Structure 1
Amino acid sequence: MPVRHALVTGANRGLGLEFVRQLLTAGDHVVAACRQPGRATALNTLAGEHPGRLHVLPLDLANPKSHAELARELPLVLGDDGRLGLLVNNAGVLHSGERFGTLSPAILDDSFRTNAAGPLLLTQALAPLLADEARVINLSSQLGSIASTTRFGTPSYNISKAAQNMATVLLARALAERGIVVFAASPGWARTDMGGEGAELEPAEAVAGILRVAGGLAASDSGRFLDWKGDPLPW
């Protein structure tokens, strides 16, 4: 079986770092993208432990120029015949402390550019480098489910994740002819910097579940919104 190439965004910590660890353990070649590779201590340590199998590259998901630079750099890492078999759009932002009456246009804009437009535009930029029948995982959240909303909280995050869910469906339609499966995955409430210490799930459990779900999806599943166990979530 040929070695798979995978790319993970927001790979310097939390779920992104755990995706990198588990993909390396599975034998994949991994490109780990983050804003400041020089400060990504854990990633650089992993790169030293897996020479030739982990490459750390810069990416500012909110900046389309950075997408283009990554797309130009990737062929040097993948080789002439290399294609990405897996793209994990994990990078995202959550602004805390938002209150109705004091919402900030700047925070809403930053959340949308990073959480919704970022994965959409990056996937578009990298589409020529995706293998046919590749998997694209967009890390979403149950907080992006309009039907499940019961209170006012983290509005810029919720709105941007709902928009990302629509972007996921659109990408699924755009890439369907190549058999590429795109889906929105909610990792549950995981113990990361974003999720906090009181969260229910270990990152390793959430990531293992999402990768298991990704591996079991058929072309007809493209565009779905699923939790880390593979159960459907309401839009």
Structure 2
Amino acid sequence: MPVPSAPRRTLVTGANRGLGLEFVRQLLARGDRVVATARHPARANALNHLVGEHPGRLHVLPLDVADAKSHAELARELHLVTDGLDLLINNAGVLHSGERFGHVPPAQLDDTLRTNASGPFLLTQTLAPHIADGGKVANLSSVLGSIASVDGFHTPSYAISKAAQNMATALLATALRERSIAVVALHPGWVQTEMGGSGAQITPEASVAGLLKVIDELGIDDTGTFRDWRGHAMPW
């Protein structure tokens, strides 16, 4: 895996479990400085254990990605733990299972859109002044957000939210291009996490290793693209 020439300053949302936690582990292992966020940091036992193992290089801050006030509070606290960001990984997300046509609860759809689409867009907008010119923003998307790949009525709230997030990625890419900040949508594969389920095909370790390699190799010419964890182009 290519390693940046200097320690990278990264913020990872939804870092208390699953892919977010694995991102933190692998970023720390390669020497980066990490700000990890979770809705309830006091309950993030695995994350807090990593703080003890990497003093001074990992800081945990509270964030509810669905709450714009929480974004503002994070921005106010950020300067206390880092002098800027080189990479923002918008990983936090929610998937409500069991939805079927005719029985998709409006509150469930609204919650998913706030968390998976509005949240990453508004958080990136809020944190943009803290991201260094030439930095990167990685939005964790999904093949389920690919309109061209729809093959049935599957997880509608999640699919709609990820399609909306993909548009947010494209718009952010245009807004931040003048600062040479590359913004990309990334499909992690079907990963063996609480969200992905026991039947998933890819380990979190393999997915994150692949995603970090893709992120490392991104240039400004790649901004606004949709890739999978192996670097392959995904259909919109």
Moved more, 161-170 or 95-104: 95-104
Runs of 4+ in structure 1 off by over 4 angstroms are: none
TM score, norm. by length of structure 2: 0.97
SS at match of 1:94: coil
What is the distance in 1 between the residues matched to 2:112 and 2:210? 26
Q: 1:73 aligns with which of 61, 73, 77?
A: 77
Report the equivalent of 2:99: 98
Aligned amino acid, residue 235 of structure 2: P
- Per the alignment, residue 171 of structure 2 pairs with 170
1:13 and 2:17 equivalent? Answer: yes
For residue 56 of structure 1, the aligned residue among 57, 60, 67 is: 60
Deviation at 1:3, TM superposition (A): 2.4
Kindly report which structure 2 residues correspond to 1:24-173, keeping only aligned pairs within 5 A, or say none.
24-78=28-82, 82-173=83-174
What are the Cα deviations for residues 58-88 of structure 1, in whole angstroms up to 9, with x where unaligned? Answer: 000000000000000000101xxx2100100
RMSD of aligned residue pairs (Cα, Å): 0.6
CA deviations over 1:80-135 (Å, ceiling 9, x no partner): xx210010000000000111111111011000000000000000000000011111
**What's 1:182 paired with?**
183
User: Which amino acid letter does the alignment assign opposite residue 15 of structure 2?
Assistant: A
- Deviation of 1:2 after TM superposition, in Å, equals 3.5
CA distance in 2, matches of 1:37, 1:103: 31
The CA distance in 1 between the partners of 2:9 and 2:215, in whole Å, is 15
What is the one-letter code of the residue matched to 2:38? C
Letter of the 2:55 counterpart: P
Of stretches 158-167 and 214-223 in structure 1, the one that deviates more from structure 2 is 214-223
For 1:109, the aligned partner's letter is D
Which 5+ residue runs of structure 1 have no aligned equivalent? none
Query: Which one-letter code corresponds to 2:19 in the other structure?
Result: L
Q: CA deviation at 1:162?
A: 0.2
Q: Give, in whole Å, the separation in 1 of the partners of 2:132 and 2:211.
A: 20
TM-score by length of 1: 0.98
Unmatched 5+ stretches in structure 2: none
Q: Give the paired residue count.
A: 232
Amino acid of the residue matched to residue 46 of structure 1? Answer: L
Alpha-carbon distance, 1:56 to partner: 0.5
Q: List per-residue Cα deviations over 1:38-57 (Å, max 9, x = no partner).
A: 00000000000000000010
- Give the share of equivalent positions with the same residue, in percent: 66
